[in-house]
Amino acid sequence: MPVDVSARPPRGVIVTGGTGALGRALVLRLLQQGSRVAVPYRRADEWRALQDEAGAGALLFGDTADLGDAAGAREYVDAAAARLGVLDGLALVAGGWAGGTKFDEAPPEEWNRMLRTNLDTVAHACRASLPHLRKQGGSVVAVGSRAAETGGGGMAAYAVSKVAVHALVRVLALENAGRGVRFNAVLPGTIDTPANRRAMPGADRSKWTSPDAIARVMVFLLSPESAPTTGALVPVDAPA
């Protein structure tokens, strides 16, 4: 007998970092496909800009949250899952970059800041989301770093924080292989964003990757079409 898909609630996805360039591209693609999307944000102006771009009828929900705090992440995820009706997707886009100096010359606070921004936010969001994802199965996609895999000279704290994300994705993929929850990561190189263009005005942008191209890969990894894939670190650093 054919499955009545109309009886299923719309897919529910949390996108951390959803107000940034890559996160925004992902949010818009998910909305176009009929997903309900929840976005934790820190700045109200960025949230309003995302709302304006998504349009008045978008199934988009936002609340302020600090995912670097374990209790804050739990509170946010539980509330977002309730608003979405079902949580079967988690996209971990939030993060930051710091670098430009050698390890022993970097500001002392850079190390903990990168670990909190890039690793703790991922770990806390995963821990909070797993009870919801295990109810019906789902997919988690994190944003790692191609540069961290290939070396990361001059950005030790950033590279270590991102390689730790890669390791966590592999561990969680193994631990949840029989529980219906998949974990993968995409590994961008330089993303063609307004911020990167301002920071590197003389760079050769022909080798950069557009946010939308990366978002398309993430949508695939979040979808049932990628069901055989878990524990993968997928490079997304080709020009597109």
Kindly calculate the radius of gyration of the chain based on its CA atoms and give it in whole angstroms.
Answer: 17
β-pair partners for 37: 13, 60
Which residues make Cβ contacts (< 8 Å) with residue 140, sequence separation at least 6?
Answer: 89, 90, 91, 92, 126, 129, 133, 169, 172, 181, 182, 183, 184
The predicted model scores a pTM of 0.92
Token representation of residue 14: 């949390």
SS3 for 223? Answer: coil
| Among 188, 182, 173, 185, residue whose Cα is nearest residue 225 | 182
DSSP tag of 10: P
Helices 156-175 and 121-136 cross at an angle (nearest 10°) of 20
Number of residues written out for the chain: 240
DSSP 35-96: -EEEEEES-HHHHHHHHHHH-TT--EEEEE--TTSHHHHHHHHHHHHHHHS---EEEE----
Q: Could you give the domains of the chain?
A: 8-236 (3.40.50.720)
| Among 135, 144, 136, 134, residue whose Cα is nearest residue 169 | 144
> What tens-digit pLDDT sequence spans the chain (240 residues)?
333 434 444 599 999 999 999 999 999 999 999 999 999 999 999 999 999 999 988 999 999 999 999 999 999 999 999 999 999 999 999 999 887 888 888 898 999 999 999 999 999 999 999 999 999 999 999 999 998 888 778 889 999 999 999 999 999 999 999 999 999 999 998 887 888 888 888 888 888 889 999 999 999 999 999 999 999 999 999 887
| Among 128, 129, 114, residue whose Cα is nearest residue 163 | 114
Tokens 């988009």 sit on residue: 60
